[in-house]
Structure 1
């Protein structure tokens, strides 16, 4: 495997993220096979021409994304092989950031959903329901529906009636849509039950907000976004 090129210190992406993506690509390409043991850290450091702290940052991200598992005294093992289509729908350089964005959204949007359940107006509830229905219409025609999905999440954030939540989500729109684009593209390549499952998760959020159940809304949103993050790396 070729060594990575060191980037200027002002480059936005860390070396740890670059190594993460190089190892991810190697897993997808079968260089590191499913259920196989990764080379020792010393060997990986030489392979990628990086220090041990940088390598460990990359390995930590891979563990967080359930791609590898560490066994005490034995090393790290590949436990999931993502669909190769992941690399077709988003630049390799953004995949790690998209995963971290899902992680951030799970916390941000779950709290916003909880607030929306207790603060939403009747007009805001109608906006959420209409956004949900637009996804149903898009699903019926196998449309990608990235914009519809984002609008659904934004309608919920807006219903929290806290300017800071909506401002943050709007500022993340590009990254959020990149994540939605990948997960929905992958879902369209599965059986129709995949999109139905995602829409059931959306429906659980809508129902909780409609019922004014903040706890259920918070839990439904967090579950949905954590599931979306996992679905991005569903194995083959």
Structure 2
């Protein structure tokens, strides 16, 4: 690996660490909801990192809708992730899980678009069956991590390009980790949360069934981006 690549990977790793450190202090209330974060200079000093590394961490927090930047004013906390998230994943793995969702939203969106164009009747039947298996699991109040993963895998099969399935299989542990968190959190919400998630799956199925590649791409991207954001919604406040 070149020196430039090594330095870039090290910066990305440090950026992930600072992302998680800032997230942790937001979650514990050090930086309160609807308040301004310290200046970049102060944050660099507090976390002992350079400004580029800090800015990478802040960019990730903006992407995850935890903070927002106001021109000429600084960064503000707009979401305090619920501590329920930590019941299902340690803070040290959250950055990777969020970036896995981000990666999947692009990869699987294209797989869904290809599936709409290329799927066979047998492959469509497999997608529908996987969708119905999730319905059955939801009705039984099951976690359904395996059923959810099988649904996404069936769509990559229908793309008829084995590289999509290969990538999902390589990422199975990370993908299931993210699914496990979001589905556990959904079970802490009213039934409408699981219904919302399943409606997103249904929209994907319908687009693939109708052969609408643009709609399939959009539906998959929307679903995975929503899943990434839902990870920080935690449990409903009235349960606390």
TM-score, reference length from structure 1: 0.92
The within-5 A match list for 1:1-236 is 14-234=13-233
- Cα drift, residue 91 of structure 1: 2.0
Q: Distance in 1 between matches of 2:186 and 2:179?
A: 10
Q: Post-superposition shift, 1:215?
A: 1.5
Distance 1:107 1:85 in 2: 28
Q: What are the Cα deviations for residues 98-147 of structure 1, in whole angstroms up to 9, with x where unaligned?
A: 11111111111111111111111111111111111110111011111111
Task: Give the superposition deviation at 1:35.
Answer: 0.4
Deviates more, 1:49-58 or 1:195-204: 49-58
Equivalent-residue separation in structure 1 for 2:40 and 2:130 (angstroms): 48
Q: What is the DSSP-based 3-state SS (H/G/I as helix, E as strand, rest coil) of the residue aligned with 1:157?
A: helix
The question of whether the paired residues in 1 share the 8 Å contact of 2:11 and 2:53 is answered with no
- TM-score, L = length of structure 2: 0.91
Q: CA deviation at 1:67?
A: 0.7
Corresponding position of 1:6: none
8 Å Cα contact 2:12-2:53 kept in structure 1: no
Which secondary structure state, in structure 2, belongs to the residue aligned with residue 37 of structure 1? Answer: coil
How many residue pairs align between the two structures?
A: 228
- Over 3 Å off, 4+ runs: 9-13
Aligned-partner SS, 2:79 = coil
Provide the secondary structure at the position in 2 that maps to 1:76.
Answer: strand
Aligned partner of residue 69 in structure 2, secondary structure: strand
- Normalized per residue, the structure richer in helix is 2
Query: Separation in 2 of the partners of 1:99 and 1:10?
Result: 17
**Structure 1 portions without partners, runs of 5+:** 1-8
What CA distance in whole angstroms lies between the structure 2 residues aligned with 1:56 and 1:12?
11
Q: What RMSD over aligned residues (CA atoms) do the two structures have, in Å?
A: 1.7
Whole-Å separation in 2 of the counterparts to 1:138 and 1:72: 46
Gaps (5+ residues) in structure 2? 1-7
